[in-house]
Each structure stands twice: as C-alpha cells, then as structure tokens.
C-alpha cells in the first residue's frame, strides 16, 4: 500500500493545528471552523479508505490464507539510542489499528461539526479547533504506532492536548485545577509506563511491537529468568506498562481525574473523555496482548482492577447529580468492562473471545457514549445547567435529543437489537467461560448500568417538569450542526451490533463467527430489564421513593455521593504529605541548613578577620612586645630541643 494516504492521515491534523494555532488569531470563527471540519472530513475519508482497503482488498500484505497480518506502511528512524533501541515513527496497519482508524475520525469529525454550533459564541473558537486538531493527530499517531516508544510519545501528546482542552475555559479556576489534576495523575501513571518500557527494552533490546508480540516466547527467554521481589521481570514490566493504561483509562485508583475533566467543553468530553483517549489503556493492553498471555499474573491483575473499578463506578454513578459526571462514571465503568474482558481472555476459551469482545465493546461504546455526551451537551445548552435538578419533562420540548438519548441509553443498557447488547453479551460470555465468579460479578454491574442510565434518562426527560419560563426561551432542540451528529451516531448505535466483528478483529488474525450464547443473552436482557424497571418505578414520576431509599442506608448514599472520598484521600496525600511534609521541609532545609552552612563559612571568615585584625595595629610598641615574646619563645624551644 502506498504511504501517501497514511501519511496524510497524520499530516493533515498536524498541519491544521499549526495553521490554526499560529494563524488562528487573524481568522474569523467561520473560517477556522471550516478549515477544521474540512481537514477532519478529509482525514475521515482517507482513513475509511485505508481501513476498507485493509479489511476488504484481499491484498497479500494484509491477509494470507484467511489470516489477517499486521502491515507496516512506513517506518522512519526518529531517534537512535543504541544500535537496537531505535525510536521509529511509523504506521502500523492491523485489525485493531484499522478499527481505530474508523472510530477516531468518525467521532472526531462528528465533534468538529457539533462544535460549530456548540462553541459558536465562545472566545478562543480558533484555539479550540487547533487543540482538537492536535488531539486528533496525537490519537491517530498513538493507534498506528509501530513501536512502544512511538506509542509513548503520542501517549504524552494525547495527555497534553487533553490538558489544553480540559482547561479550555482558562479563566475558571475549576477548569484550571481540573486540567492540572488530569495531567499530573496521568503523568504519574506514565512514570510506570516509562519504567515498564525501560525494563522491557533492556531485556528484549527492541521497542518494536512486531518483535515483541510475534514471538512472545523469545521475550520470556530473553529475560533469562530474572526476578525482582518474587515476580519475574516480565511480570513487573507488564504490570508497570498497564499502570500507564490505568492512568489514561481511569482505572481505580487513578480514576480521580476523569470526573473532574468534565470541566472541559462538552464536545471535548465526548471526544476525549468518552470515546477515544480513555480507551488508550485498553488499546495498549490489546496491542501487547500476546505478551500479556505469557504472564498469568498480569492478566489476573487487569481483571481484578477492572472488575473493582466497574463496580465502584457503577455505584457512584447512581448517586451523582451532575449529568456529565454520571456519564463520566458510566464511562469508567464501561472501560472497566473492556479491561475485564481482556483480562479473562485466553486462547483456550473460544479463541480468546474476550479480546474480540473488548474491541467490539470499545467500538460500540465509542459510538453510543459519544452520542450520550453530545446529547448531554444539547441539554446543557438548552437549560444552562449541568444538573438534572434543573431538568425534567424535557421529552416534550426536545424530541430529537430525547429519542437519540433514549437510543444511547438502550444501547448502553444492553437491550437488543441495540449495539451495546451484542458487545456486552460477548464480554459476559467471555467472563463466564473463564470463571463463574467474574461472570456473576459483571452481570450485576451490567444490571446496575441499566439502572443508573435509566435513572438519568427518566430524571431528565420525565420526572417533574420544572418552571422553564424564567429562561429567555423554552428549551428546544439544537440546530442542524448539533442535531446531525446526534442522528448519525444514533443510527450507528442501533446498527453497529450487527457487524460480524469476529471476522475482522481477533487476537491472532484468524476469523471466526460469533454466535450468541442463548442462556447468557436471555439472562443479561432480563437483568437489564430489571434495572430499567427499577428506574422506571423510582424516577418516571416525581415521588418519594428515591429519597426514602437513600434514607434507608444514609451512610452508603453519602459515601457514594462523595465518590467514596477518593478525592479527599488524594488531596490529603498531595497537600498534607507531599507538599507540606516533603517539599516544604526540603525548601526549608535548603535555605537554612545547606545555605546556612555556606553563609556560616562567610560569617566565620568575617569574624576571624575581625578578631585578628588587632595585630595589624600600626603601634610600634606592640610590635616590639610581640617580637620579644616571639624571640623568647623560639629561644626557649630551641634550648629545650638542644638540651
């Protein structure tokens, strides 16, 4: 395959970033928006073409005897550390990167179009589009990385563009601190990622994904059985690399930045904090999956972290008031589903069904979660508040938003024939095939998902209609630029489930047909319906049930409402322990002890010279006295020695 088109996929967003970033000040909003949308539209067409080519062309570079291959389109040296350890910038095309080439430009383009309406009157509109372009560039570079260091480079760039976009409204202190928090928490996680890369590359002497994953047995051999604190170095490396993924994908306990990241403009939340960047961690594990298969412990670790996160986020999501935060916690929970799915995937169980299921869910989740967030944006625009308490009965005012939001909720709840049903069902099958325990656990979380999503839905669109008359206008559906992405994504969310994913994305490139496990499918639908039913009973009309239930176990409700105090714990650690307990004492030590010693030398020198300057008095009598005393002393010493 020619390298021009893949190169353009990366170059256009980068060029747009520079163009809008440097020249944006002199542009009108309309021009900047047009440039952004046309650029992203072109990328969309080019990457659809590339992905289509990969899956359907039958080219020998991509598929041989029904087995899909990874193809490196180009790979140029960027920085040579040693002869073997070389960072290259390249373009890798394999099933998962081709899939991401569909997901990212689709969502990104929809967000570009949507923002034309949503951000219309904001100051810094050009800057916004510049940042969006930078983000798209970084994210695309991340998924097509040919080696782990290229991934790390774009990983960092993604983090920085996320920082810039969360802090877009930079005059708001809350946005500033949210962006700071997001960057520092993910940076901390990236430290683990970096050390993991260092360990891995030290033993394997390569950064290349191809070398690492094609022959994982060799990687294991290359470590020579080295261990550290009871674990093999490969386990350590993989767990540390996964830490990086935990940061970006907001797994416990590094999830705290994602809810705060909702301070950014809502379309940004849809693009970055729901559909694309936050799945980078899942993508990372999937990318190195053959290596993870070598270390049972690492996979179990992923499963446990994922399962706990999924449950935690689902509980918290039931108690939040801010609709974007509910969606944020639901995102955390859904990404945890993908993680668990990877964690339980084993080649011996249905050809690593979990791997396929995870990628499938990544795909469908990106569509319906972006839909939900964009819908939330339309709602926020309409009522000028993020809280559901300011909403209610909106189904009468905003029919398009209502129906598309409902589709999103049905999809995430896992009701057939919406897309979420299929992908979630595969995940549950994968869990049950590995162990009953995780299967039941995740089924419960799936039921809670249905409950909290429909709680949100009913509270926004049903419940009690508040008095909207104090607004300038009644809430209404958004204009075409904003409603088109909603309609498009809703359509995709309805039909995406029918994609025969197993034919495209599998862990080893072998195609297989997926079929529903009737028992699991029926159970999960029943559980989802139960969740929806409970939500219907509690929230479809204004009543006392929610308050009464919350009063039943008040401590649990309060704790969940405060997100189980994770933020407070972190605040305590960072402010009280690190800032006041380490930084301040060090600064004090530096000023008073180290510098005090240096000043002390000067002080002593000064005092000493003051003390002895009396000898240089200029009085002849004194000099004679000292001369005589000296001479006598010398004479005495000589005499003693001579004797």
Instruction: Provide the binding-site residues for another protein, judged by CB under 8 A.
Output: 77-82, 85, 149, 153-154, 156-157, 160, 163, 167, 170-173, 176-177, 180, 183-184, 187-188, 190-191, 194-195, 198-199, 201-202, 579, 582-584, 586-587, 590, 594-595, 597-599, 602
Q: Are 207 and 241 in contact (CB under 8 A)?
A: no
H or E segment at 447? helix 436-461
Do 441 and 311 form a contact (C-beta atoms < 8 A)? yes
Cβ 261 vs Cβ 269: under 8 Å? yes
Nearer CB in complex with another protein: 122/503: 122
- What is the token pair recorded at 172? 């708001």
The full 3-state SS of 355-399, as one line of letters, equals HHHHHHHHHHHHHHHHHHHHHHHHHHHHHCCCEHHHCCCHHHCCH
Query: What would the two tokens of residue 285 be?
Result: 């594990």
Name the residue nearer to another protein (CB basis): 178 or 298.
178
Judged by CB, which is closer to another protein: 201, or 358?
201
What are the backbone angles phi and psi of residue 84, rounded to the nearest 5°? -90, -40
Look-up of token digits 């997901």:
103
Minimum CB separation from another protein for residue 93, in Å?
Answer: 22
Nearest residue (CB) to another protein, 90 versus 475: 90
Min CB(129)–another protein separation in Å: 16
Distance CA 41, CA 119 (A): 19
Q: In the complex, what is the shortest distance from the CB of residue 552 to another protein, in angstroms, rounded to a whole number?
A: 42
Nearer residue to another protein within complex by CB, 207 or 418: 207
- Is the CB of residue 112 less than 8 Å from the CB of residue 270? no
Q: Which residue lies nearer to another protein by CB, 163 or 441? A: 163
CB of 281 to another protein, least distance (A): 18
Distance of closest approach, residue 90 Cβ to another protein, in angstroms: 15
Query: What is the rounded CA–CA span in Å between residue 538 and residue 542?
Result: 8
Query: Residue 110: how many CA atoms within 13 Å on its side-chain side?
Result: 32
Separation CA 265–CA 271 (nearest Å): 10
CA-CA-CA-CA dihedral for 599, 602, 605, 606, to nearest 10: -100
Of 173 and 614, nearer to another protein (C-beta) is 173
Kindly report the number of other CB atoms within 10 A of residue 310's CB atom.
28
CA distances to 148, 332, 372, 410, 561 from 275, in Å: 22, 11, 11, 17, 25
Query: Containing H/E element for 562?
Result: none
Tell me the C-alpha distance between 321 and 473, whole Å.
24
Query: CA end-to-end span of the chain, whole Å?
Result: 104
| Minimal distance, residue 203 CB to another protein, in Å | 10
Cβ distance to another protein smaller for residue 186 or 449: 186
User: Measured from the CB of residue 499, what is the shortest distance to another protein in angstroms?
Assistant: 34
**Shorter beta-carbon distance to another protein: residue 171 or 621:** 171
Which of 149, 388 has the CB closer to another protein?
149
474 Ramachandran zone, left/alpha/beta (phi>0; psi -120 to 50): beta
CA–CA distance, 89 with 75 (Å, rounded to integer): 5
Rounded to whole angstroms, the Cα distance separating 634 from 71 reads 93
CB of 246 to another protein, least distance (A): 15
| Minimum distance from residue 157 beta carbon to another protein (Å) | 6
Of the pair 247, 485, the CB lying nearest another protein is at: 247
In the bound state with another protein, the residue whose beta carbon lies nearer, of 240 and 407, is: 240
Angle formed by the axes of helices 353-383 and 419-434, nearest 10°: 140
CB of 342 to another protein, least distance (A): 27
Of 114 and 183, which has the nearer Cβ to another protein?
A: 183
Shortest CB 236 distance to another protein, Å: 12
Nearest distance in Å: CB 88, another protein = 10
Nearer to another protein, 244 or 375 (CB): 244
Closest approach of another protein to the CB of residue 126, in Å: 12
Least separation in angstroms between residue 232's CB and another protein is: 15
Q: Where do the DSSP E strands lie in 420-537?
A: none
The sign of the CA dihedral 263, 265, 266, 272 is negative
Token representation of residue 364: 């469908």
Report the number of secondary-structure helices (H) and strands (E) in the chain. 27, 6
Question: Of 461, 471, 478, whose CA–CA distance to 381 is shortest?
Answer: 478
């Amino acid at each position: 395959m020619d390298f021009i088109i893949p190169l353009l996929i990366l170059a256009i967003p980068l060029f747009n970033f520079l163009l809008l970033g440097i020249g944006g000040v002199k542009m009108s909003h309309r021009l900047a928006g047009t440039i952004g949308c046309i650029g992203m539209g072109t990328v969309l067409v080019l990457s659809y073409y590339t992905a289509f080519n990969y899956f359907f062309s039958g080219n020998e570079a991509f598929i041989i005897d029904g087995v899909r291959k990874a193809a490196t389109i180009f790979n140029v040296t960027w920085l040579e550390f040693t002869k073997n350890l070389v960072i290259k910038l390249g373009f890798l095309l394999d099933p998962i990167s081709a899939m991401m080439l569909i997901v990212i430009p689709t969502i990104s383009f929809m967000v570009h179009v949507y923002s034309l309406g949503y951000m219309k009157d904001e100051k810094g509109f050009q800057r916004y589009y510049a940042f969006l372009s930078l983000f798209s560039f970084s994210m695309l570079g991340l998924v097509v990385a040919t080696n782990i260091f290229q991934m790390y480079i774009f990983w960092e760039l993604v983090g920085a563009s996320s920082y810039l976009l969360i802090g877009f409204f930079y005059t708001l202190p809350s946005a500033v601190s949210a962006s700071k928090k997001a960057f520092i928490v993910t940076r901390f996680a990236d430290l683990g990622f970096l050390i993991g890369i260092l360990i891995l590359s030290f033993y394997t002497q390569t950064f290349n994904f191809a070398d690492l994953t094609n022959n994982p047995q060799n990687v294991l051999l290359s470590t020579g059985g080295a261990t550290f604190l009871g674990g093999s170095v490969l386990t350590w490396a993989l767990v540390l690399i996964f830490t990086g993924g935990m940061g970006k994908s907001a797994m416990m306990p590094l999830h705290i930045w994602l809810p705060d990241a909702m301070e950014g403009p809502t379309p940004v939340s849809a693009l970055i904090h729901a559909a694309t960047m936050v799945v980078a961690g899942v993508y990372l594990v999937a990318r190195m999956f053959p290596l993870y298969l070598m270390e049972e412990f690492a996979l179990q670790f992923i499963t446990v972290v994922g399962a706990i996160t999924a449950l935690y986020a689902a509980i918290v999501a039931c108690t939040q008031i801010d609709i974007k935060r509910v969606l944020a916690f639901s995102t955390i929970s859904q990404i945890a589903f993908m993680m668990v799915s990877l964690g339980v995937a084993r080649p011996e169980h249905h050809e690593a069904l979990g791997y396929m299921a995870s990628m499938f869910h990544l795909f469908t989740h990106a569509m319906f979660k972006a839909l939900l967030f964009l819908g939330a944006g339309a709602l926020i625009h309409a009522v000028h508040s993020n809280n559901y308490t300011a909403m209610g009965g909106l189904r009468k005012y905003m029919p398009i938003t209502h129906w598309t939001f409902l589709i999103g909720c049905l999809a995430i709840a896992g009701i057939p024939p919406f897309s979420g049903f299929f992908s979630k069902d595969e995940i549950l099958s994968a869990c049950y095939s590995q162990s009953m325990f995780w299967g039941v656990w995740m089924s419960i979380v799936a039921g809670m998902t249905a409950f909290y999503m429909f709680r949100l839905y009913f509270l926004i669109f049903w419940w009690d209609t508040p008095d909207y008359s104090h607004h300038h206008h009644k809430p209404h559906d958004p204009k075409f630029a904003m409603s088109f992405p909603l309609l498009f994504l809703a359509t995709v969310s309805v039909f995406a489930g029918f994609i025969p994913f197993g034919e495209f994305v599998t862990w080893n490139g072998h195609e297989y047909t997926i079929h529903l496990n009737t028992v699991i499918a029926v159970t999960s639908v029943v559980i989802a319906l139960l969740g929806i039913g409970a939500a219907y009973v509690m929230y479809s009309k204004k009543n006392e049930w929610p308050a009464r239930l919350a009063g039943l176990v008040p401590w649990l409700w309060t704790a969940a409402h405060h997100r189980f105090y994770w933020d407070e714990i972190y605040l305590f650690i960072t402010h009280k322990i690190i800032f006041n307990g380490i930084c301040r004492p060090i600064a004090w030590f530096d000023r008073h002890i180290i510098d005090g010693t240096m000043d002390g030398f000067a002080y002593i020198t000064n005092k000493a010279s003051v003390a002895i300057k009396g000898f240089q008095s200029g009085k002849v009598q004194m000099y004679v006295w000292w001369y005589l005393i000296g001479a006598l002393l010398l004479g005495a010493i000589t005499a003693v020695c001579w004797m």
